[in-house]
Every structure is written in structure tokens, then in C-alpha cells.
Amino acid sequence: MAAQRAGTAKPKKKEQSEYFFDYSLLFIVLFLLGFGLVMIYSASSYSAFEEFKDTAHYLKRQLAAVAIGLVLMIIVANIPYHFWERFALPGYLVAAALIPVVKTPLGVESHGARRWIRIPGIGFNLQPAEVAKVATILFLAVLVCKMGRGIRSFKGFCVMMFFPLPLAAEIYFITKNMSSALIIMGIAIIMVFVASPDYKKFVIMALLVVAAASVLIYLVASGSDILEFRGNRIRSWLDPESDPSDTGFQTLQGLYAIGSGGIWGKGLGQSMQKLSFLPEAQNDMIFSIICEELGLFGAVAVILMFVMLLWRMMVIANNATDLFGAMLVVGVMGHIAVQAILNIAVVTATIPNTGISLPFISYGGSSVMFLLIEIGLVLSVARRIQLKEL
């Protein structure tokens, strides 16, 4: 009977595990890329024809950058993310070394700003600030893991906040790119906050920043030239109509576009402000064109897509197999969140104009390629999450 029972006993079901792939995250990214291409063509077709006699000039260049970025994203997603851990310090040093190159003959100037490096032979311009953002995320993720509980101390907090400063300072003083410098510091603050959620330190830091900003705004409004040309931007932000033909022109035209769109918009391709009225319509101010052509409905839909993207990243970070993977995802999430919030705030005149692009949507080859590399890192972390079945 015992043998019979042994023969009829059901074998134990072996524990199986399968790896997770976040198709929702991939769909949101692809949607934003596709939507961005449509809006770039809509916003730039008139100016592209005027300048290059080709309505699809900007679309073609952005499409090439998106294609290269998607290939890089797939490659990075299929490489175990711990592979990149060894490149944290070299990447940081390379990013620091690349920024001064913009002042050499390889530097490229556009619209009065010298922020790009010409890559000989391929006709591609690299923006070192984008390299610095990825390098900051990778370096700080490694640093958090090495410091462990030491990050909770005041010394650990200061160390974490110190390392992004050289890159941010280089970008600000050498390339005059305040927005990218702010993004790098924003990435650092978010990563440190998640690794060491000591609210008191961050409340004190926020109060100090608000106090310093208030003093600067007061001095600039009083006529001080302490911020040089950026002071004019602050004055035009406080009162755009004081100089509607110069410093306040872009802000006013952007607000006209937003206001004229109404709830449902004028219709895709029907913008009036893109007809040489709104500068950088396909770049920093593309959200204004979205509001004008698709109305409040389109603007809210875009914001919701970004919220969904950040939510998926939060899910991946919470379920990452280790601290390094979680911090990588937090860094990417912080980058996209800060950049999207700053862009929309600039376009709606909530903060002074700093010249910042909308992730995945604005025209810019370097920006979209490095953003897709970051998404590849997030997908790589997600692929190592195991779904167990008993």
C-alpha cells in the first residue's frame, strides 16, 4: 500500500520564475516619440521651408536621431545593468572633460549659444550636457551603494551633493546653460532624497533656495545687473509687456499660443504662432504649439502621459532586485520629471525663461538619444525583476 501510495503521489510543483518586461513603459515612450515627431513637423514645417526649402527638414533629422536612439535603447536594455557600474568614474571624468571642448574649434554655435561639439565625419553634433546628465545618474547610483548607511549622516549628505557640483558649474560657466545645470542638481537632490529621506535637511535646503531666489529677483527688479543678461530674462518674466519686441517677445508669443487654443484647440497643423511669430517653436516652446493646436485637452493628455511614465518607473524602482538598480531608475525618473516640469513652467511663464526642451517631444538629437539610452537602463533593471510562480 505504501508503494502504491508512493506511486500515485503527485510530484511537487517546482518553483518557476520568469523575467518581467514593462511593455507599458515601452508603449508610453513610443507614443511620446511618435507624438513628438508629429508635433515637430507641424511646428517646424513653415520655418524649415523658409530656411531650407524642405518642410520636413527638422522631421528627417529628428527621425534619424530617434532611430539611432531606439537602437541604443535596445542594446542597453539587453545588457545587465551592473555592467555599467565599472564605468561610473570614467564616465564622470569623460563628461567633465567634454564640456570645455565646446570652446575649441570643434565647438558649434547655434542661436548665440555654444553648447555642442561637432563629431567629424558623421555630421552629428553632441551636446556634452546630455552626457553629463547620464554620467551623474550612474556615478551617484554607485556612490549611494558604496556609502551605504553613511549617506544618512550630514557628511554623507554633503559628499553626495558635492560631486554633481563640478559638472553643473562647468555647464553653467562654460556653456552658459543654466537649465542643464539645474537639471543635474535636481537629479542629485532627488536621488539623495530617495536614498536618505531626511525631510529636515531638504526643508532647510528648500527654504535657503527660495530665500536666495527671492533676494536675487528683488535685486534684479530693482535694476541691479548682478545676473547680467539673465537679469533681463527675469525682468521680462515679471513684466513681459515692458519689452514686448525683445526680451518679452518669446514669452508673450507663447502665452498668445496657449490662450488662443482654448479647450479643443485650432486643429493639428493650424497654429498661427509657428508662422515665424514664436521663436524656437519646434524646440523649447513646442508645448505652446501643442496647446494652440490641440487645446487644453492635448496639453492635459501630454501631462498625463508623463505622469504615467513616471509612475511606471516608480513601480520598477520599488521592485528592483538591488539598490543600484533602484537608484538608476530613480535618477532617470528625476531627470525626466525635472526637465518636463521646468519646460512646462517656462512655457506657461511660471518661472523665467531658461531654454529647456520637453523630453521626447522637443526637437534635439542629442537630447532624445541620451533619453532613450536612459530608458534602456530602466528596461534593463525591469528585465531583472523576477515574477515567481509557485
With b for 16 or more beta-carbon neighbours within 10 A and e for fewer, the 41-68 pattern comes to: bbbbbebbeeeeeeebbbbebbeebbee
Q: Residue 388: in which H helix or E strand, if any?
A: strand 386-389
Q: What are the two backbone dihedrals, phi and then psi, of residue 154, each rounded to the nearest 5 degrees?
A: -65, -35
Q: Are residues 62 and 172 in the same domain?
A: no
Q: List the pLDDT tens digit at each of the 390 positions of the chain.
A: 444 444 444 444 444 445 677 889 999 999 999 999 999 999 999 989 988 888 899 999 999 999 999 999 999 999 999 999 999 999 999 999 999 999 888 888 876 678 888 887 666 788 999 999 999 999 999 999 998 888 888 888 888 889 999 999 999 889 888 889 999 999 999 999 888 877 787 788 888 888 888 887 777 777 666 666 666 777 777 777 776 767 778 888 888 889 888 999 999 988 888 888 888 788 889 999 999 999 999 999 999 999 999 999 999 999 999 999 999 999 999 999 999 999 999 999 888 888 789 999 999 888 999 999 999 999 999 988 876 543
Q: Please say whether the beta carbons of 310 and 22 come within 8 A.
A: no
Q: Are residues 46 and 133 in the same domain?
A: no
SS3 (DSSP) at 285: coil
Q: Are residues 112 and 192 in the same domain?
A: yes
- Residue 208 inside a domain? The answer is no
pLDDT computed for residue 126 by the predictor: 87
Domain count along the chain: 2
Q: Please say whether the beta carbons of 281 and 273 come within 8 A.
A: yes
- Residue 135 inside a domain? The answer is yes
Question: What DSSP state is assigned to residue 120?
Answer: T
User: Following CA atoms 210, 216, 220, 221 in sequence, which dihedral angle do they give, to the nearest 10 degrees?
Assistant: 40
In sequence order, the β-bridge partners of residue 18 are 387
Q: Are residues 168 and 253 in the same domain?
A: no
- 138, 173, 196: which is the final residue of a domain? 196
Range of the domain at 32: 22-78+240-385
- Residue 304 inside a domain? The answer is yes
Q: Are residues 31 and 64 in the same domain?
A: yes
Residue type, 355: G
Q: Are residues 381 and 244 in the same domain?
A: yes
- 171, 196, 221: which is the final residue of a domain? 196
Q: What are the two backbone dihedrals, phi and then psi, of residue 126, each rounded to the nearest 5 degrees?
A: -105, 135
Q: Using alpha carbons, list the distances in angstroms from residue 389 to 21, 187, 386.
A: 16, 36, 10
- Residue 11 inside a domain? The answer is no
Q: Are residues 190 and 257 in the same domain?
A: no
Query: Which residue is associated with the grid cell 527638422?
Result: 58
The grid coordinates listed for 262 are: 482654448
CB atoms within 10 A of CB 250: 24
Q: What are the two backbone dihedrals, phi and then psi, of residue 356, each rounded to the nearest 5 degrees?
A: -135, 140
Q: Please say whether the beta carbons of 308 and 320 come within 8 A.
A: no
- Tell which residue, 283, 278, 290, has the closest CA to residue 252: 278
The grid coordinates listed for 195 are: 536614498
